[in-house]
Structure 1
């Protein structure tokens, strides 16, 4: 079957945290025999900061971020068996959603794939004309990369035919243990772009512990932090390419995950970074959110912090031996239960079940 997937970027993680998620899911689906075309706009300097070349398992189409460029890729939606519009493309989101639904051939599976469901749902609650809300009657399926029961109930309450979370996961071939790299040596590292709905939580869970533990070394990676006032024991690395993520995660004593506001509020939304860190056998410290035990066991496979004081306490008590034990246990858990091979199998089953229903109706 042919998939036409319209997303932010497959080739670049620059201001695009969904890149590794797309790569993991879609490469797994390719191994199940799907022929995939991924359409991404040339926008936000992502093409100047590529992490990968166009992969063999996917046809990559980069189009100009113009009305003409949009029209050129929308016309291809009609030739696909499965049409997917992901949220957060960043340019022409409304037009892309309306356009792919209008051009999808009769019988094609029409999907909205939400990689920021909590935020999308908040927007829908405040805007009766929201494009996703208006599109729900024409969609066969809503997939999300997190959210659990609260997101399922909310989407189906808005009228979605079916909503299924397909969680972030690990690609062991991409993210795995590597030797420590002195460039990333520190006691606690955090990787994430500076975003309005994350900044206050980074201040609490990362910068506050840094100020409390002045003799410890802290490292922050990601875009946008260069103008942020920070304690003197914090180094700013800037954009960290995905090829460097293993070293970034394997080198510190511990790695911090900080959820965005909406995801922390809803829960059941582990970021890609959680699985990347566990895949590198890092000792992960995460802010508390509901459902964490579904993915990693607190105190044995992950350390959970309610606030910055908890982070400081965890770090003060953490020995290299305990950090290694937690990281090793986390790696074993995600390798057994949370790989993109398993997620791809889940999505393949959803697609085949829809195709079977279509044959029954024919």
Structure 2
């Protein structure tokens, strides 16, 4: 198939999780014989931090406005077998209006931020999607599964809402036993106001209670006024190729979920799969549906408060720690790689095309 994707970014991983998702997915689609053209809106914060300016597995087109994009590439867009529009795309509403007006071109919406999208739709503040556009998509692909899919169909009139969860690239994420363990607990994630309270509870509190422990937080956009514990190292940004080394230098890694995604459930994060693929034991906050991705207690550890985190850090013996990591990695490799997602997407597109 000839696929056109309008996504937030594929060229820059700075301050977002979209780029790594698109990179793995598009590469695997190309390996399956599909031809992908990726449209990315020029943005100064991405253009100044491009760690993959020319992805080798797709044609990448940077544009300045939807008008310019369609004036120059209308023929290519209209000739696609499918057009996929992602969440958080600048001018995403206008792009969706234009492509759904095209004849004989099915359109899918790929929501990498589903709970946030639905909350913003309900409040009327969503800047990249409007409710009346949803029934015009042949597919609504969602990072969130479970009951949310029925809500998208029943409340917003989606023709078919299907889960297309985040995934991991096993070519980038794998164990490196020779890397020395520098930290007892690490966390990787961009700052988010609603994620900071659980980070304070599950990360900062244990760090303060264990002065001899070694802790690290990596990710951009954290306010300068945050009072990090003295035994916590800060790293502003890590490119995707540096994630593996970062995880492998930790005894445990922490997964913290945004509030909207906790409420929705069935919302695994990219970082969760990345760490697991590196065979690093994950300590996660609790949310509905977690057990459908990893088995609590044998493949992942769940923490409801700082006491749980401290118990894992100080009481889990080394053989048990390694076993947890190995089982989590095995689960990821059998169910949650970019190749799995590309195959799932292909099946969704083929099935939906027959009913278009």
TM-score class, shorter-chain normalisation, is over 0.9
The equivalent of 1:208 in structure 2 is 205
For residues 83-121 of structure 1, give each alpha carbon's deviation from its aligned partner in whole angstroms, at most 9, with x where no partner exists: 1110112x323222223323x3x2222111101111111
For residues 217-259 of structure 1, give each alpha carbon's deviation from its aligned partner in whole angstroms, at most 9, with x where no partner exists: 1100000236121110111011011000101111111011101
Q: Report the aligned-residue RMSD.
A: 2.0
Taking structure 1 as the reference length, the TM-score comes to 0.91
Which runs of 5 or more residues in structure 2 are unaligned?
A: none
Structure 1 CA distance for aligned equivalents of residues 302 and 314 of structure 2: 14
Alpha-carbon distance change, 175 to 324 in structure 1, aligned in 2, over 3 angstroms: same
The equivalent of 1:125 in structure 2 is 122
The equivalent of 1:353 in structure 2 is 351
State the aligned residue count. Answer: 352
Taking structure 2 as the reference length, the TM-score comes to 0.93
For residues 257-304 of structure 1, give each alpha carbon's deviation from its aligned partner in whole angstroms, at most 9, with x where no partner exists: 101111111111110011111111111111111111111111111111
Structure 1 CA distance for aligned equivalents of residues 72 and 268 of structure 2: 32
For residues 50-100 of structure 1, give each alpha carbon's deviation from its aligned partner in whole angstroms, at most 9, with x where no partner exists: 232422221111223x465455567342221111110112x3232222233
C-alpha contact (below 8 Å) 2:100/2:106 kept by paired residues: no
The equivalent of 1:196 in structure 2 is 193
Aligned-pair CA distance for 1:319:
3.1
Q: Any idea what SS the aligned residue of 1:331 has?
A: helix
Q: Any idea what SS the aligned residue of 2:331 has?
A: helix
Partner of residue 168 from structure 1, selected from 161, 166, 169: 166
Structure 2 CA distance for aligned equivalents of residues 174 and 268 of structure 1: 25
Partner of residue 243 from structure 2, selected from 242, 245, 258: 245
The equivalent of 2:331 in structure 1 is 333
C-alpha contact (below 8 Å) 1:86/1:113 kept by paired residues: yes
- Does residue 96 (structure 1) correspond to residue 95 (structure 2)? The answer is yes
Q: Any idea what SS the aligned residue of 2:41 has?
A: strand
The equivalent of 1:54 in structure 2 is 54
Q: Any idea what SS the aligned residue of 1:49 has?
A: coil
Structure 2 CA distance for aligned equivalents of residues 86 and 267 of structure 1: 21
Report matched runs for 1:209-224 at 5 Å. 209-224=206-221
Structure 2 CA distance for aligned equivalents of residues 70 and 39 of structure 1: 9
Q: Any idea what SS the aligned residue of 1:351 has?
A: helix
C-alpha contact (below 8 Å) 1:39/1:73 kept by paired residues: no
- Does residue 87 (structure 1) correspond to residue 84 (structure 2)? The answer is no
Structure 1 CA distance for aligned equivalents of residues 214 and 126 of structure 2: 48
Which runs of 5 or more residues in structure 1 are unaligned?
A: none
Aligned-pair CA distance for 1:41:
1.6
The equivalent of 1:287 in structure 2 is 285
C-alpha contact (below 8 Å) 1:113/1:144 kept by paired residues: yes
- Does residue 259 (structure 1) correspond to residue 263 (structure 2)? The answer is no
For residues 305-342 of structure 1, give each alpha carbon's deviation from its aligned partner in whole angstroms, at most 9, with x where no partner exists: 11233222221213333221111111111111222212
- Does residue 31 (structure 1) correspond to residue 5 (structure 2)? The answer is no
Structure 1 CA distance for aligned equivalents of residues 198 and 344 of structure 2: 33
C-alpha contact (below 8 Å) 1:255/1:283 kept by paired residues: yes
Structure 1 CA distance for aligned equivalents of residues 177 and 20 of structure 2: 22
